[in-house]
Structure 1
Amino acid sequence: MYVRYINHPFESSMRIAHLILAHNNPQQLEVLVRRLIYADDMVFIHLDKKTDAAPFEHIGNLPNVFFIKERAKVGWGAYSIVEATLNGFREILASPFNIDVVNLLSGCDYPLQNPATVHNFLQANPGKIFMEFELMRTNWQEALSRVERYHLTNYNFKGRYLLQSIMNRLLPKRRMPNRMTPVGRSQWFTAPAECIKYMVDYIDQNKAFKRFIEHTWAPDEFVFQTILYNSKYREQMVNDNLRCIDWSERNPSPKTYTIADKSVLLCSDKLFARKFDLTNHADVIQAIDARLDDNNEGNSAVISA
């Protein structure tokens, strides 16, 4: 059973816009969205353009839930995931709602705290930007090749990797535009809407930067951090993205949580975690639900199967 709380005793002057990047599993996406719906918060969903939207359409009938109209075809490691994120940011900024904070999630994330706790935490930390950032030239050197070499991952033509190899053999190492210091790590973050607008405007107004990023690998993990780190917002950056993510298996993607991870997740002080698989490991999500429901005792609720 999954619970959507409605009449909350807690009132918040803050409005959060959750932007979810999704591409599959409509049932799991709906469970996540129902957990995020709270007070005046908004949920915006970017659905990969390669995905049939029909099985997801009913989710848009939930209160304060919107699908991003300008969908991008997302490729792993390609600039297209940055494009999808920017499309979401632009529609959030253009919406008539007064958004204070934007929270970037994937469709396989899940909250570890109830919405009131999330609001309390963010209200206690006004103006702070929660994202992981490591200096590529010192602490994240394995990522340097992403920016120093040409990558044609965002393109789809025969022989692109041969051309990429030739380019990197003949051309000098690439350098970040405007002598920017590259930083990054995880793509998921929580930031004030003011900073979201700054990042969107920076990319729109700096065409050379955009062209540079289009020819890097997995820019979603460093482009937004790099923009803010090289701006007046650096002092507001906190090197913590508020997510519980397990990379212990040393795979290209993080570990999928199972019921064996229950104690770790329930004891975590992080706000969100990733990643989860409702189809094969629903029990760990149900364990989190039980804890969240206990913490919301006394609220009115709508129960959904």
Structure 2
Amino acid sequence: MLLCGTNRNVKTKMKVAHLILTHKQPRQLERLIQALDYPGADFFIHVDRKADITPFQYLFAKPNVFMVQKRTPIYWAAYGTIQAILNGFAEILPKQYNYINVMSGQDFPLKPAGEFFRFLEENNGQEFITARPLKEEWPDALSRVYNYHLVNVHWMKKGKHRLEQLMNAVLPRRRFPLNYTLAGGPNWFTVTSEAAAFIIDVLELRPDIARYFKYCWGADEFIFASILYNSAFRERLRECLLFCKWLPGNGHAEILTTNDLEEMKASGKFFARKFDTDTDNHIFSVLEELIGSKRQIA
């Protein structure tokens, strides 16, 4: 099965790199790529290093789909997601795109790709990443950044949570190495290449920032937002373009189905997550019809 674009005669000056993090369901990823395909769009796929790359190889036959060469293992709420995004940035930035759109392989668009490109052209220079100051707008997340979390200690199978409790009981509260207002939001975002390059520069200049976030829980929801919020980019920050429903109390995204269609449409967002073909395969056909995406089989 090959991917065939349906908008190849359209002309645009905008160049967008879709950076997609995935670990399973290559056929679902194929439908995502097909729905997003548009002149000026390229796809950089980071496959979790723990996953077998073989089932994904056929996707890279398409000329605008590339594999992120430097793969890293990803564990839930750990630093691997951040590293995968940074690895993607490093491979994308030399190719000079206007925007980098960071997604999961379980996302899907709610609007046509052409409408997304027109939106970026009309709002060129703005950064679509939610950055809520934690103390004022997200106080429930403060313990995730100021307490010790050992999510990156993968070799420790037993006693990890007990050790965390002991560390947080006897050690002083953690202090961020810079005079930052910590901010956060969903870790899926659309930013200019200028902002992505700035993030890489900051982390290279201050490796203590990465060290700090490696002992946070779900640091991908804070590190990029905090760096941009505490910079000249703050005035350019806008809400992210993704719709998501969170399961109460456990930090997981709810799997969306056809029952959520009207809520998704009413959100006005360009993308939604999280979808799973094993839970509701029909929702993909519904969304493809909504946005005018057609799968073509060769």
TM over 0.5: yes
Corresponding letter in the other structure for 1:257: L
Give matches, 1:272-291, under 5 Å.
272-291=271-290
Out of 148, 151, 154, the position equivalent to 2:152 is 154
Is residue 2:297 matched to residue 1:304? Answer: yes
Give the direction of change, closer, same or farther, for the CA distance of 1:152–1:268 in structure 2 (3 Å limit): closer
Of stretches 263-272 and 124-133 in structure 1, the one that deviates more from structure 2 is 263-272
Alpha-carbon separation, structure 2, partners of 1:284 and 1:177: 45
1:46 maps to 46
Alpha-carbon separation, structure 2, partners of 1:261 and 1:166: 42
SS in 2 for 1:137: helix
Q: 1:149 touches 1:174 (CA, 8 Å); kept in 2?
A: yes
Alpha-carbon separation, structure 2, partners of 1:113 and 1:183: 28
1:13 maps to 13
Identity of aligned residues (%): 35
TM-score, normalised relative to structure 1: 0.91
| CA offsets 1:165-205 (integer angstroms, 9 cap, x no match) | 33222211111111111000210110100000000111111
TM-score, normalised relative to structure 2: 0.93
1:75 maps to 75
Count of residues paired in the alignment: 296
Of stretches 54-63 and 251-260 in structure 1, the one that deviates more from structure 2 is 251-260
Q: 2:50 touches 2:73 (CA, 8 Å); kept in 1?
A: yes
Q: 1:6 touches 1:39 (CA, 8 Å); kept in 2?
A: no
Q: 1:112 touches 1:288 (CA, 8 Å); kept in 2?
A: yes
Q: 1:79 touches 1:154 (CA, 8 Å); kept in 2?
A: yes
Give the direction of change, closer, same or farther, for the CA distance of 1:7–1:288 in structure 2 (3 Å limit): closer
| CA offsets 1:55-92 (integer angstroms, 9 cap, x no match) | 11101111210111111111111111111111111111
2:262 maps to 263
SS in 1 for 2:46: strand
Q: 2:134 touches 2:141 (CA, 8 Å); kept in 1?
A: yes
Deviation at 1:267, TM superposition (A): 4.4
Of stretches 165-174 and 122-131 in structure 1, the one that deviates more from structure 2 is 165-174
Of stretches 256-265 and 191-200 in structure 1, the one that deviates more from structure 2 is 256-265
1:36 maps to 36
SS in 2 for 1:60: helix
2:101 maps to 103
Corresponding letter in the other structure for 1:66: F
Deviation at 1:152, TM superposition (A): 1.4
Q: 2:96 touches 2:193 (CA, 8 Å); kept in 1?
A: no
Alpha-carbon separation, structure 1, partners of 2:227 and 2:195: 10
SS in 2 for 1:43: strand
2:135 maps to 137
2:244 maps to 245
Deviation at 1:259, TM superposition (A): 1.4
1:217 maps to 217
Gaps of 5+ in 2: none
Corresponding letter in the other structure for 1:89: F
Q: 1:132 touches 1:186 (CA, 8 Å); kept in 2?
A: yes
Corresponding letter in the other structure for 1:280: T
Q: 1:132 touches 1:241 (CA, 8 Å); kept in 2?
A: yes
Deviation at 1:245, TM superposition (A): 1.1
Deviation at 1:156, TM superposition (A): 2.1
Deviation at 1:247, TM superposition (A): 2.4
Alpha-carbon separation, structure 1, partners of 2:170 and 2:143: 15
Deviation at 1:228, TM superposition (A): 0.3
| CA offsets 1:82-110 (integer angstroms, 9 cap, x no match) | 1111111111113xx22110000001000
Alpha-carbon separation, structure 1, partners of 2:93 and 2:141: 31
1:124 maps to 122
SS in 2 for 1:30: helix
| CA offsets 1:211-240 (integer angstroms, 9 cap, x no match) | 1111111100010000000011110001x1
Gaps of 5+ in 1: none
